Amino acid sequence: MDLKVICVLSVTLLVALSTLTEGKMLPTRCQCKLPPRERRNCGYPGISAADCRKAGCCFNASVPGVPWCFAPKPKKVRKVCPNEPQARVNCGFPGITAKECERKGCCFRAPPAGVPWCYYHRVMEE
């Protein structure tokens, strides 16, 4: 391969990887409230608070002998069936029964006509 091609590919790869890491969501305060014994390491020795948070992790150096950069608690979510007909996203096919729809893990509500009766749940954060 030509050196110019290798350089262009390298730069493209670096830009793509940096875009992926920037997309990490910062954990909330509640997600970082973990007893020290439950902390799971999320960094490397000597990681800075800024680098730890950039990785989407929690940082707390107040307790010696446990990870300071640690994985946050997962967000609590629940599935709800949207009530508004315009919010329904089709999950089935014409003529699907309620039982078939629910077996697929979807919501089923027949009325009104002209909108999906079998539709996906919406995930809500608690």
Q: pTM for this structure?
A: 0.48
For 21, phi then psi, to 5°, come to -70, -30
Asked if residue 34 and residue 68 are part of one domain, the reply reads yes
* Domain co-membership, 50 together with 66: yes
Mean pLDDT, residues 53-82 taken together: 92
Q: What is the distance between the terminal CA atoms of the chain, rounded to a whole angstrom? A: 52
Residue 9 pLDDT grade (very low, low, confident, very high; cuts 50, 70, 90): very low
Instruction: Read off φ and ψ for residue 22, nearest 5 degrees.
Output: -70, -20
What is the CATH classification number for the domain harbouring 83?
4.10.110.10
* 33: containing domain: 23-74
Determine the average pLDDT of the residues in 3-28: 52
Q: 108 in a domain, yes or no?
A: yes
Sorting pLDDT into bands at 50, 70 and 90, what band is 110? confident
Contacts of 59 (CB under 8 A, 6+ apart): 49, 52, 53, 68, 69, 70
- Residue 30: the pLDDT is 85
pLDDT band at 24 (very low <50, low <70, confident <90, very high): low
Three-state DSSP class for residue 113: coil
- 55 occurs within a structural domain: yes
Is residue 59 within 8 Å of 41, Cβ to Cβ?
Answer: no
